[in-house]
Structure 1
Amino acid sequence: MATPLVARRLREGQLKQSPIREIMKLADRRNIIAMGLDPDDVISFAGGWVNHKAPEELRAEYSTISDDPVLFHELGAYSPTRGLPNLREALLSVDATLYGTRDLSDDNILVGGSSTQLTHTLFTTLLDPGDRVVLFDPSYANYGPQLNLGPEGTEIIWLPVFDAERWAFMRDRESIVSSFQALVSEYDPRLLLFSSPDNPTSRLIPDDVFDDILRIAEEADCFVIVDFAYRAQCFTEVVPEHFSASPSEHPNLIRLHSNSKWCRGLGRRLGWVEAAPHVIEALEIVQQSTALCPDSVHQYALAAYLTKALSDGSLQSYMNETNARYEKAARHTTECIDRYIGMPRLDPQGGLYTVMDVGRNGDEFVREVLASTGVIFVPGSGFGPSITNGVRISYGPLVNNLDRIEEGIRRVGDVVDKC
């Protein structure tokens, strides 16, 4: 009996799992046992998630919904495709109050099921077959696979932003800007996509580089999508100016936001996009045929919480407190690397990660370290060619257990010369 086949892109291996998912499979409990290790003794620095508590006031809003039969029933209905109006209003107020973003109105925002879903929706909305997309090297590991799911023939153009010899991110401003100008002139890309703070490096794009890149892209009719998944985890004393860059002033600028990191809403999936009105209108058409609408319960609870917490100042206090915890974990992680391993690493300016130079193929290093220590890192190769000899180390899941961070780094330091 003939068996129908899945899509050609999957059959021919064009669509691959992310390196993070591959490592998580390698760290599966059964595989760990087969390696002769105790699964309960494994220390993972692989996960890209936060581990602080969500606001108690947000949890209370969910209790209100569940305790009110009428409200619970009403929220079983479809929301508008662009999201609940009160959530859109609350999100815009948060952006204006906490970050100073100017002149955004309801025409500039759409709420979706998650930033992952919205990234794919943006690709469907903005790209035609054969279009070119510029990604930083290195970049978030999921951008490439998502682009491969986009219009047929989409081509990725890498913009090197990492100096592997000096182990430095965006060290040479003039070189990066001139390289982007050259890529724009040669390839005529449709869009540029990057995150700030960056994943995997947890470094910020300098404001002057951001301004120059945005200007060059605008002159070339190229969209710039900034993924602000880690904007709430920023460790600099002064908030970067590009955090408040507005699509009202730059119609080619698209701001992508996630509910996952700042309030630990990883499983309470929501995301939103801020962009020029014509982009939002087009996104709404696409979302009608894909996600239809975001989850009504999550939207209602988040809108109710944000409206109250922004007004009474508790939102800013909560964000300051959680941000301080990740900054402390970041500093502790890098200090432990210096003390026990002594390999070059980056100082995080935000986010959940640092990237360490292991001096050889990171994929091999990760597997050998796991087998000999029970410690899990993520190889750098999945983020771009420039950090093939590196590993990403996440302190996010261990933010509540600094001793566990130190124990994991110490174990690696004990065997690093043997790997």
Structure 2
Amino acid sequence: MINKILVPLLLVSVLNAATYDENYRVTDLSKTIETNFNVFMDGNFERIIRYDMINMNGEDDDNSSAEVIDAASKEVKKFQDEGKGVKVTIIGHTNRPTDDINEKTIDSDTYAKKIQNWFRYSLDTNNSQDRSENYVKEIQDAIVNAGVDRNITYVELRAGRDQGFTEATVEGRDLSNRVMVTLYVHDRPDIDSDRDGVFDRIDKCPNSPRGYVVDEKGCSIDSDGDGVLDYKDKCPKTPKGVEVTSEGCSIDSDKDGVYDYLDVCPQTPLGLKVEKNGCPLKSTLHLNFKISSDKILEESYPEIQRFSKFLKENPIYKAEIIGHTDSIGKAVINMDLSERRANSVKAALIAEGIDASRITALGRGELDPIETNRTKEGRLLNRRTEVQLSY
């Protein structure tokens, strides 16, 4: 816990001029190296916030130093959330050191002179520098522990260079043992590095690909809500709730060319041609026969050739030929006629080179009308040959 005194700046206005040198000397506490760093003198800043000084004598446990650290860490986060660059300086001061080698001490044993020596504040240069470093490191660690990136903190060890208070009293010398914390907010011009229409200072995704729509934070959007950003999405209009690939396209599990969300038959064998709904193809043979005969008219043979070609191109399919009639005549005769016609089609397909094991024939007579048998047009449609495909 850091127990320090917080002194309002109105009591130490002289300290404002002593928070940095013209050539600010940044100290690397891990390597004891100092380098000139003029950005705090020469840089342009939108805001400079100087917090009340932290007295490092530990005489008052009022948590004021914790208040400074809390305030500074919150301000850093606020400005960084706004996309602004921030730097934090931490300056360590001590009272003015005296050189023990050159100092003339009062060599008297009298009570009065002992009191005078007691009031003399003797602090050599090395000790002053070490104490300044300890002060700075303590506050820097506390600020980092509060969530501030150590890389944006800059420290300087001023030791006894800047006396903000009188050296004539113990209280004054003690007040010179202090740490000053200052927050610098960059005054950066509004630029848009990735040209997405969102300025860098508020752009949470500063390297968005060119030409894609982004949100108000500068990040790529996912228009169809499938979890794949538009610039990666090769299928940007996928329906909501549909499972997609890493490229944003709907999945086709059985690889039949029909996406799963449209596929009524999602487990068709590989290589099987299907309808638009993902189910096996259906087909009807439009054939003409002589009246009351099972002989296929010559004009219908192109239809036989078309269907045999389909079977050759899709060897996974088997075909069941189903014959149908209208209701004119006796039912038993119609059943026989439908069976003979189905077998005639089978024979024609075999003649075209289709293996007999892939074809079956079935007669249904007048049992399955698709239109009324009361009209000439209806009876014409009922006299048909259907194909049921299977695999």
Task: Tell me which structure has the larger Cα radius of gyration.
Answer: 2
TM-score, normalising length: structure 1: 0.18
Q: Greater relative contact order: 1 or 2 (C-alpha under 8 angstroms, separation 6 or more)?
A: 1
Between structures 1 and 2, the one with greater helix share: 1
TM-score, normalising length: structure 2: 0.19
